Chains A and B, each alone.
Chain A
Amino acid sequence: MKKIYDTASSALDGVLQDGMLIAAGGFGLCGIPELLLEAIKDAGTKDLTFASNNAGVDDFGIGILLQTRQVKKMISSYVGENAEFMRQYLSGELELEFNPQGTLAERMRAGGCGIPGFYTKTGVGTVIAEGKEHKDFDGETYILERGIFADLSIVKAWKADETGNLVFRKTARNFNPPAAMCGKVCVAEVEEIVPLGSLDPDSIHLPGIYVHRLIQGTHEKRIEQRTVRKKETA
């Protein structure tokens, strides 16, 4: 089966539908599938729900789909860097479901592993626990959280081979593997597709079984908080 597509738009052909649930990798602007998000904007798909740790900034990442009003709901842990997000949320145009960050990651991982629910201590006694099943195990209280089963996963990796085996780079891995695992279809964008056999099989971060479509592209890789220290002069 051929997994490699020429462009982000062609890789998404036939998999986009209004109202679908998309799991997206990335943390802040680090390791986000920026090319696929751009292609979803061009496709004009509407009423999307995104399970994504963050919502990008106004003009980058998921933020570009907020500007075009293509997003109906976000499932996120932190959305602080996006003014347009806040405007739409406060005016009631956008739904928001806050998940603790680890709960969101585990919901994706669980969905990808065929696990519809799991119990966690995270959020017990907080607003997050309201309306959720509580259960005691060995004297401690836990709440039930649901696995996420997404219609589509969009992720960004560093390198891939043509079978979709993925290698990520540094902290750009973040939510990408769990997001990739929980979708019915997973489309990955990478910086480089390398010849078969050139990735060390022992160093594959995500096996190609999770990846259905693949594109290579040039990434802007924007830095959100450039922080440096001064070189000490000897």
Chain B
Amino acid sequence: MPWDRNQMAARAAEELEDGMYVNLGIGIPTLVANYVGDKDITLQSENGMLGMGPFPFEGEEDADLINAGKQTITELRRTSYFDSAQSFGMIRGGKIAAAILGAMEVAENGDLANWMIPGKLVKGMGGAMDLVAGVGRVIVVMDHTNKHGDSKLLKECTLPLTGQGVVDRIITNLGVLDVVEGGLKIVETAEGVTEAELHDATEATIV
């Protein structure tokens, strides 16, 4: 059985180590926060916050306290706030250990495309280009194939890039792959998914 969204998020959470400062993207990556367990992880929100807490209880929303997806959130005892220039200074400066984010396409050389959705209006890259260029490790969490059943792990991206050669690891519903010299390397498969099935669903070169 392929992993569902929550299983993918749980698998992504295994990538995080005690003491890490991490930025989580929108969608499945947001769910990763539910699976960090006892690990001491500090979440960064690129609009200017370290130590992002959960959503507020009803009636406790604060218009001055939102995440990068513009959702109301809460602070923790460790929270600090700063301006956008400093926020991206710590991103560009390599202080954030990892970013976990969604993607539309990843190429076998680590190219990432996730800011222009085909057939839809361009809304902008937000902080995605800064994040993938700056953080220590870029982990993509996404479905292995698109809604037409085509592989999202490609020899070359067809969509406009967010970053060139930036992806380190890809976690899909079928398994985990690393970007290595010459292509992608299978790290593990989801329970019940064979390596052959993973090969069949992947356009990118598997080495």
Contacts and interface: CB of A to CB of B under 8 A. Distances in A.
A122 B129 CA distance: 6
Interface string B99-130: 00000000000010000000001111111111
A69 interface: no
Counting chain A residues whose Cβ lies within 8 A of the other chain, the interface size class is: 35 or more
Contacts of B122: 98
A64 interface: no
A100 B127 contact: yes
B134 interface: yes
A78 interface: yes
A138 B71 CA distance: 40
Interface stretch (B4-12, B54-62, B186-194): B54-62
Interface stretch (B13-21, B85-93, B136-144, B167-175): B85-93
A156 B66 CA distance: 16
B92 A174 contact: no
Contacts of A121: 92, 133-134
Contacts of A116: none
Contact of A173 (B81, B121, B134): B81
Contacts of A176: 83
B65 interface: yes
Interface stretch (B40-48, B145-153, B197-205): B40-48
Nearest to B126: A78
B161 interface: yes
A53 interface: yes
Interface in B34-85: 45-49, 54-58, 60-67, 69-73, 75, 81-85
Contact of B72 (A108, A109, A120, A225): A225
A152 to B, nearest CB: 19
A101 B45 CA distance: 13
Interface residues of B, number: 53
A231 B83 CA distance: 31
B66 A101 contact: no
Given A77-B124, A128-B129, A108 B70 contact: no
Contacts of B123: 78-80
B53 to A, nearest CB: 11
A126 B130 contact: no
B164 interface: yes
Nearest to A126: B161
Contacts of B75: 170
Nearest to B121: A86
A80 B72 CA distance: 18
B160 interface: yes
A224 interface: yes
A179 to B, nearest CB: 9
B163 interface: yes
A78 B66 contact: no
A226 B57 CA distance: 11
Given A79-B123, A122-B130, A123-B133, A175 B84 contact: yes
Interface stretch (A2-10, A27-35, A38-46): A27-35
- Select the residue from B46, B84, B125 with max chain A CB neighbours within 10 A: B84
26 contacts: A28-B70, A29-B63, A30-B70, A78-B126, A80-B121, A102-B84, A102-B92, A109-B85, A121-B92, A121-B134, A122-B129, A124-B163, A126-B129, A158-B64, A171-B45, A173-B48, A173-B81, A175-B84, A222-B63, A223-B63, A224-B70, A225-B71, A225-B72, A227-B61, A227-B71, A228-B55
Interface of A: 27-31, 53, 76-81, 86, 90, 98, 100-106, 108-109, 120-128, 158, 168-178, 205, 221-231
Given A29-B63, A98-B124, A227-B61, 6 more contacts: A79-B123, A123-B129, A170-B81, A171-B65, A175-B83, A226-B72
